[in-house]
Amino acid sequence: MARFGRPARTRVTTMAAMNSSSPLRWLLRAGVAVLAPGAGAAAAATDVPDPMQQRVAACASCHGARGEGLPGDAKVPRLAGKPAAYLQQQLASFQSGRRHHAAMEYVVRQLSPDYLRQIAEYFAAQQVPYRRQAAPAVAAAAMQRGEQLVRHGDPSRGVPSCASCHGDTLTGVEPMMPGLAGLSYAYIDAQLDAWRTHQRVADGPGCMVVVANRMTGDDVAAVAAWLASQPPPADMHPVPAGAQREPLPGWCVPGNGGVNP
């Protein structure tokens, strides 16, 4: 398993595993000691250390306490280490109804843009080792097709390579491009299908809608299978802005969104 330079914290507090020394208990004792009953929540928030992990318990139950994703739930994406601006945009999209998922839409609906940013930054800053995804069983030819599409695209169908936008290392590009490495087959497959059927749409240029619609159903499965079967690279950080190997296709440049080749 790939690891980051910085050792991962081993003590991960979950809702179910609170003990007497947990940050929450400390926080509660401090809160109880300081606050008279009836004092607003704001006072509690300023008088105690800032356990963001505790605040976002609603996220943790599906995405993991630090956004590392939960084993056994392949449809829920990992959040840790994704570009902050990307995460913030997705949260805002769930809020505005642009992106659909009933549970996500309900959870984020009452949050301010500023708090959404802080939550996005919290998960973006988490460095948790990637878990190797279960490799789906697909034919060798499909695996080859998947690798071809990811690395080189299919010029005959006008499909750019995944790497051309998501970075050569497939770990994403700051500030807005999410990584593809380390995601599960189920999640990639579901998202590509969502782009194909316009269930998922983007704020800016609708590149993914166009790209996904140029792929066949078999292409989608092949790409998802190949990506999910790769060992996560040692350094999972998104590459800095401007470090992309080739420029985005002309129709996929922000401001050019209406152009659908």
Partner 1 sequence: MKRWWRRGILIFVLLGMALLGWWLFAPGCVQQMPPAQLEAEAAKLRAPALIARGEYLAAVGDCAACHTERGGQRYAGGRVLATPFGDVPAPNITPDPETGIGRWSFEDFWRALHEGKGRRGEPLYPVFSYTSFTKVTRDDALAIFAWLKSLPPVHQPDRAPRLAFPYSVRSSLLAWRALYFKPGVYRPDPARSPEWNRGAYLVQGLGHCNECHTTRNAWGGMEQDRHLAGGTIPVQDWYAPDLGTQPGGGLAGWSSQDIVDLLKTGQSARGVAFGPMADVVRNSTQHMSDVDLQAVAVYLQALPARAPAPAPATYTQAASHAQGGELYARQCAACHGKQGEGAPGVYPPLDGNSSVTAPTATNAVRSVLLGGFAPATVGNPRPYSMPPFAQQLSDDEVAAVVNYIRQSWSNRASAVWPAEVGRLRHTPVD
The footprint of partner 1 (CB under 8 A) covers 15-18, 24, 27-28, 31-32, 35, 37-45, 54-62, 95-98, 102-103, 105-112, 114-115, 118
In the complex, least distance from residue 167 CB atom to partner 1, rounded to whole angstroms: 30
Burial environment of residue 109 by CB neighbours within 10 A (0 to 12, 13 to 18, 19 or more): exposed
The β-bridge partners of 159 are: 154
Contacts 24+ apart (CB under 8 A), 142-146: 142/218, 142/221, 142/222, 142/225, 143/222, 143/225, 143/226, 143/229, 145/218, 145/219, 145/222, 146/222, 146/223, 146/224, 146/225, 146/226, 146/227
C-beta closer to partner 1: residue 35 or 248: 35
Provide the residue type at 260 as one letter.
N
CB 31 within 8 A of CB 97: no
C-beta closer to partner 1: residue 32 or 241: 32
C-beta closer to partner 1: residue 30 or 135: 30
In the complex, least distance from residue 42 CB atom to partner 1, rounded to whole angstroms: 5
In the complex, least distance from residue 30 CB atom to partner 1, rounded to whole angstroms: 10
C-beta closer to partner 1: residue 25 or 245: 25
In the complex, least distance from residue 237 CB atom to partner 1, rounded to whole angstroms: 27
